[in-house]
C-alpha cells in the first residue's frame, strides 16, 4: 500500500506531455494515415492528389499528374489556382506555410473556397509534410511562381519568389521518411486503379500517372463519367440493357447515379461522397435501395406484371445482378468513423431517395422493353429466394441450437470465439490427420467432401441447398448473406487448408468466392486466413528441413550436402502424418498463415467475375495475359 502511494505522488503535471505542431503526427502516424505499410504510403499520395481533385471539383483544374520517381520520391502537379502565399491574418505567416504546417488549416472549411472536398478536411497536406524526409512545393498564381522546402515538416527557409510564369497550379514533390516507413515501395497497378476511379467520378478531368523506375505510364479521361465506369464494371458480364443515368443538383448537392443489370446473381453497389469511397455505405445507399425497390414494385403493379394476390418484390429481389454507382458531391459531409467508410448525413437519405425514384420511374416508363427485362429478372429472383428460404432457415436454425452442429465437425472445447480457430480442410483423409494433430482446446476441424459449389454461377436456392456450404454456415453459427450477425461468429480465425497442388488451389478459390460473395464481413473483420503447408521435406542424416517455396528449397539444399539429401515433394495434406501436419501447418508457434484482405473491391470483384463466372472468353484472355507471371506452377 505504501508503494502505491509513492507511485501516485510521483505522477505530477510535469509528466503530462503536450505534442506541439506536427510532432503528434510523427509520433502516431497510424492515427492519421491508417498504417505505415504500403497502404499508408499510398494514403500520402492520395491526400495530395485529393487536394488537386478538389480544385477540379471547384471548376478550376482539368489536369492532374502523378509521377513516381526512381529515388522513391513522388510528384503531384495540377493546373489549378495555386496555393496562396500572402501572409495569413491569424497565423502571421505565409498562407502556404500555414496550410503545410498546421493541422486543420486549409480552404476546405466554411464552404467559401471549396463547396465540396475530399481528403482529411485540412490535415492531409500537413500530415504528408510531417511524414516526409523532404517536401518541396511550387505554387504558380497571378503570373508568378513561388517555392518553399521542408524537412520532416519543418521549413528549410521562407517562401521565395522564383520568377514569372505563364502557368498556374501547384507542384508538390515529397519523399516519405524512412524513419516512419520501413519499406518504401509503391504499387503502380493499385495507384492506377485509384486514378482511373477518380477520372470516372470527375468527367472531363484528365489524370496521368508515370512510374520512372519501371518506365510505365497511363492516362485516364472519361467524358461519360460514371456511365463509362459502370460499363467497365460490367465488361465481363452479360448486361441486360444500356446504363441508366440519373443526375440532379439541389442547391450545393449533386446526386449522380448509374445503374445497369446483368444476368448474374451478385449485387455490386459502389458509393462515393466527394470522391471518397464509402465502402460501408450510409444514408445515401439506404435512400437509393429504398427508392429502387419502391420504383420497380410500383411499375410492376402498374403494368400488371405483379398481380394483386402477389406479394411485393423485396429489396433482395430487385438487387440481384445489379451494378450501381452512387456519386454524391456535397458540402460538409458527416462520416461515421475515422476511415470515412460510411456517410451519416440524415438529410441525404430523403434527397437520394427522391432523385432515384423519379429517375428510375421515368426510365421504366420510357423504355418498356428494358423495363420488362428488369422486372422479369426480379421476378425470377423472387422465385429463387422463396425456394432458398427453407434451406437458409434450416442453416440459421441449426446454427442457433446448442450442440446442433455438422456431424463431421470436430469442435474445440473453448467457447471463447477470440481464441477459437476453425480449419476448413480439403478431403476426409487430411481432415483425419488434422483432427489427430490439432490442439483440441482451441482448434476445430471441418473436413470437406470434394469441391464445393461455385457460387458465382449458382442461384440462391442451389447455394443454400448445397450440403458443404450449409455445413460451413452452420459451423460458423453467424448466418449468411443479409442474415449474417458477426456477434454470433463462433471462431475468430477461419483457416482454409488445402493441398499444395492445382486441385487444392481450385478448392481454395471456390471457398474464397463463397466468403467474398456471401460472407464478406468475415473478410473485412480480418477473420479469414489461408494455411501454408510445406511443399518439400528435405532430410540429410539427422537434419530435417521444411521448405514452403522453391526458393526456400534451394536455400535449404545449399545448407546441406546436396549428394546426400532426401527430397520429398508434398502435394497432398494426407501425405503428412498428424505430427508433421501439426508441426508444419497448424502449430501457432511455427506455422505460416496468409490473412485474406480486400484492398480494392472493384478489382477483386472483377477477378472473381472473370475467373469464376459464366463467360469463357474473358477467362481465357485473363489466363493468356497473366500466364507468364505465374510464380508457382504445379507440374
Catalytic position from the list 503, 552, 600, 615: 503
Going by their DSSP bridges, the two strands 566-569 and 74-78 should be labelled as: unpaired
Three-state DSSP at 154 gives strand
Catalytic, 426? Answer: yes
Q: Which residue has the cell 429517375?
A: 359
Alpha carbon distances (Å) from 580 to 368, 493, 530, 570, 573: 64, 21, 18, 12, 10
Residue 77 and residue 100: Cα distance in Å, rounded? 16
Residue 265 and residue 608: Cα distance in Å, rounded? 13
Catalytic, 78? Answer: no
Going by their DSSP bridges, the two strands 342-343 and 322-329 should be labelled as: unpaired
Residue 52 and residue 62: Cα distance in Å, rounded? 9
DSSP designation for 80: S
Catalytic, 15? Answer: no
Sheet containing strand 543-547, strands side by side: 543-547, 536-540, 566-569
Q: Which residues contact 308 (CB under 8 A, 6 or more apart)?
A: none
Long-range own/partner contacts, residues 107-115 (CB < 8 A, 24 or more apart): 108/54, 111/252, 111/331, 111/332, 113/58, 114/54, 114/57, 114/58, 115/57, 115/58, 115/252, 115/331
Long-range own/partner contacts, residues 536-544 (CB < 8 A, 24 or more apart): 536/567, 536/568, 536/569, 536/570, 537/567, 537/568, 537/570, 537/580, 538/565, 538/566, 538/567, 538/568, 539/565, 539/566, 539/568, 540/564, 540/565, 540/566
Catalytic, 310? Answer: no
Catalytic position from the list 47, 77, 317, 426: 426
Catalytic position from the list 461, 499, 575, 583: 499
Catalytic position from the list 212, 267, 501, 552: 501
Q: Which residues contact 280 (CB under 8 A, 6 or more apart)?
A: 336, 337, 341, 342
Going by their DSSP bridges, the two strands 206-211 and 216-220 should be labelled as: antiparallel
Instruction: Tell me which residue of 249, 234, 314, 325 sits closest to 281, measured CA to CA.
Output: 325
Cβ-contact 258, 325 below 8 angstroms: yes
Which residues form the catalytic set?
426, 499, 501, 503
Amino acid at each position: 500500500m505504501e508503494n502505491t502511494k509513492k507511485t501516485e505522488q510521483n505522477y505530477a503535471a510535469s509528466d503530462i506531455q503536450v505534442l506541439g505542431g506536427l510532432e503528434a503526427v510523427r509520433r502516431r502516424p497510424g492515427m492519421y494515415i491508417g498504417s505505415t505499410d504500403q497502404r499508408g504510403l499510398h494514403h500520402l499520395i492520395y491526400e495530395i492528389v485529393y487536394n488537386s481533385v478538389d480544385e477540379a471539383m471547384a471548376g478550376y483544374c482539368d489536369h492532374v499528374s502523378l509521377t513516381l520517381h526512381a529515388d522513391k520520391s513522388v510528384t503531384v502537379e495540377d493546373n489549378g489556382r495555386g496555393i496562396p502565399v500572402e501572409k495569413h491574418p491569424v497565423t502571421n505567416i505565409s498562407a502556404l506555410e500555414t496550410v503545410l504546417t498546421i493541422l486543420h488549416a486549409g480552404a476546405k472549411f466554411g464552404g467559401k473556397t471549396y463547396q465540396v472536398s475530399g481528403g482529411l478536411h485540412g490535415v492531409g497536406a500537413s500530415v504528408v509534410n510531417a511524414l516526409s524526409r523532404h517536401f518541396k512545393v511550387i505554387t504558380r498564381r497571378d503570373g508568378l511562381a513561388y517555392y518553399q522546402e521542408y524537412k520532416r515538416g519543418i521549413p528549410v527557409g521562407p517562401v521565395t519568389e522564383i520568377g514569372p510564369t505563364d502557368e498556374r497550379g501547384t507542384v508538390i514533390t515529397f519523399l516519405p521518411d524512412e524513419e516512419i516507413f520501413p519499406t518504401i515501395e509503391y504499387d503502380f497497378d493499385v495507384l492506377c486503379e485509384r486514378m482511373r476511379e477518380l477520372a470516372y467520378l470527375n468527367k472531363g478531368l484528365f489524370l496521368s500517372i508515370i512510374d520512372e523506375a519501371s518506365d510505365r505510364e497511363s492516362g485516364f479521361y472519361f467524358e461519360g463519367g460514371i456511365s463509362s465506369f459502370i460499363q467497365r464494371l460490367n465488361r465481363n458480364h452479360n448486361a441486360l440493357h444500356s446504363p441508366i443515368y440519373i443526375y440532379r443538383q439541389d442547391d450545393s448537392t449533386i446526386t449522380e447515379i448509374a445503374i445497369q443489370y446483368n444476368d448474374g446473381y451478385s449485387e455490386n453497389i459502389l458509393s462515393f461522397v466527394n470522391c471518397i469511397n464509402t465502402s460501408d455505405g450510409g444514408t445515401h445507399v439506404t435512400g437509393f435501395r429504398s427508392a429502387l425497390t419502391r420504383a420497380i414494385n410500383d411499375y410492376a403493379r402498374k403494368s400488371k406484371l405483379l398481380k394483386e394476390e402477389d406479394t411485393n418484390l423485396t429489396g433482395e429481389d430487385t438487387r440481384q445482378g445489379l451494378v450501381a454507382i452512387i456519386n454524391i458531391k456535397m458540402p460538409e459531409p458527416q462520416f461515421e468513423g475515422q476511415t470515412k467508410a460510411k456517410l451519416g448525413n440524415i438529410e441525404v437519405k430523403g434527397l437520394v431517395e427522391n432523385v432515384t425514384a423519379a429517375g428510375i420511374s421515368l426510365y421504366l416508363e420510357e423504355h418498356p422493353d428494358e423495363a420488362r427485362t428488369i422486372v422479369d429478372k426480379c421476378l425470377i429472383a423472387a422465385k429463387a429466394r422463396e425456394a432458398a428460404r427453407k434451406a437458409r432457415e434450416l442453416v440459421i436454425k441449426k446454427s442457433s441450437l446448442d450442440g446442433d452442429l455438422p456431424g463431421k465437425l470436430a469442435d474445440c472445447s473453448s467457447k471463447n470465439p477470440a481464441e477459437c480457430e476453425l480449419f476448413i480442410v480439403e478431403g476426409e483423409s487430411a481432415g483425419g490427420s488434422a483432427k489427430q494433430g490439432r490442439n483440441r482446446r482451441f482448434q476445430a476441424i471441418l473436413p470437406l467432401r470434394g469441391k464445393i459449389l461455385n457460387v458465382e454461377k449458382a442461384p440462391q436456392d442451389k447455394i443454400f441447398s448445397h450440403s458443404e456450404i450449409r455445413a460451413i454456415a452452420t459451423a460458423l453459427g453467424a448466418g449468411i448473406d443479409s442474415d449474417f450477425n458477426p456477434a454470433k461468429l463462433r471462431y475468430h480465425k477461419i483457416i482454409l487448408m488445402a493441398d499444395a497442388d492445382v486441385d487444392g488451389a481450385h478448392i481454395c478459390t471456390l471457398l474464397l468466392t463463397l466468403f467474398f460473395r456471401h460472407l464478406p464481413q468475415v473478410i473485412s473483420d480480418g477473420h479469414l486466413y489461408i494455411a501454408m503447408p510445406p511443399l518439400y521435406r528435405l532430410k540429410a542424416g539427422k537434419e530435417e528441413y521444411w521448405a514452403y517455396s522453391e526458393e526456400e528449397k534451394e536455400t535449404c539444399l545449399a545448407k546441406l550436402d546436396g549428394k546426400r539429401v532426401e527430397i520429398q515433394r508434398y502435394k497432398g495434406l494426407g501425405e503428412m502424418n498428424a505430427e508433421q501436419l501439426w508441426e508444419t501447418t497448424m502449430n501457432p508457434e511455427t506455422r505460416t498463415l496468409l490473412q485474406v484482405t480486400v484492398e480494392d473491391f472493384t478489382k477483386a470483384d472483377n477477378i472473381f467475375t472473370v475467373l469464376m463466372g459464366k463467360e469463357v472468353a474473358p477467362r481465357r484472355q485473363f489466363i493468356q495475359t497473366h500466364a507468364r507471371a505465374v510464380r508457382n506452377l504445379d507440374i
